Amino acid sequence: MSTVNLSAYKFVGLDDLPALRERVRERCHALALKGTILLAPEGINLFLAGPREATDAFMAWLREDTRFADIVPKESISDGAPFGRMRVRLKKEIITMRMPAIRPEGERAPSVTPATLRRWLDQGRDDDGREVVLLDTRNDYETDVGLFEQAIDYRIASFTEFPAAIAADRERYDGKTVVSYCTGGIRCEKAVLHMQDIGMKCVFQLEGGILKYFEETDGAHWRGDCFVFDDRGAVDKQLLPASTDELPTGEKEP
């Protein structure tokens, strides 16, 4: 039986974390799902795997909570569950940046759809004729597996290093349209809000990240595979497990 792998997040204010954790954990165990769900005052970040009926049932249950009614997961298929267990964890942030002034739950970052980015990259410019610069906000071990052609890669070891890296390189982006990207959208959303805070203009996130880009386009302008935070190690442009034995695998957090 095929396994459905879900990746989703939402920045939304949560003030009932211990009780929410117990409800989520009970529901996941009842459905025999495996994966990791992170809960923090700023929102939810989830990676789940299981049979179609179970993943659909969980998402339907989650959306009964009005705070998560519009959450839309990215999906991929594998032969088995790439997680060994089910964890629901409470965190200070669902993606650690250590910039408390950044409050994504208050206002979403501007974004471009995968189809729009694909068209911009084909054109070599955005719809206003500005040069488009792709900015990878992921860690170095992720970009080693694959990245967009000609993307800027700061080779950071942790997302907490991103603010310093962008501050030292701001002039590079003057007069250009910047599209930040990451695996599923969560890091590049925080990155865009930070770039706006330091006065950068024309900055966007890739809506849904690399996974949504693979889902909605043919993956043009991408080189390699996409690192994922589970035992698959990486997925290819068809969102299938990449065929390599050289990737670091296991349950990790971005």
Residue 182 a catalytic site member: yes
Query: Annotated catalytic residue: which of 182, 188, 202, 226?
Result: 182
Q: What is the extent of the structural domain holding 40?
A: 3-90
CATH number (domain holding residue 16): 3.30.70.100
CATH number (domain holding residue 169): 3.40.250.10
- Asked if residue 213 is part of any domain, the answer here is yes
Shared domain check, 79 and 173: no
- Asked if residue 105 is part of any domain, the answer here is no
Dump pLDDT digits (tens) for 177-233.
999 999 999 999 999 999 999 999 999 999 999 999 999 999 999 999 999 999 999
Look at the chain and report how many structural domains it folds into: 2
pLDDT exceeds cutoff 80 at 253: no
Residue type, 54: A
Shared domain check, 70 and 137: no
- Express as a percent the part of the chain with pLDDT over 90: 87
Dump pLDDT digits (tens) for 15-64.
999 999 999 999 999 999 999 999 999 999 999 999 999 999 999 999 99
Distance spanning both ends of the chain, measured CA to CA: 28
* pLDDT score of 251: 46
Closest CA to 147 of 240, 210, 229: 210
- Encoded tokens for 129: 């004729």
Cα 143 to Cα 13, 129, 148, 156, distances in angstroms? 31, 28, 9, 10
- Asked if residue 135 is part of any domain, the answer here is yes
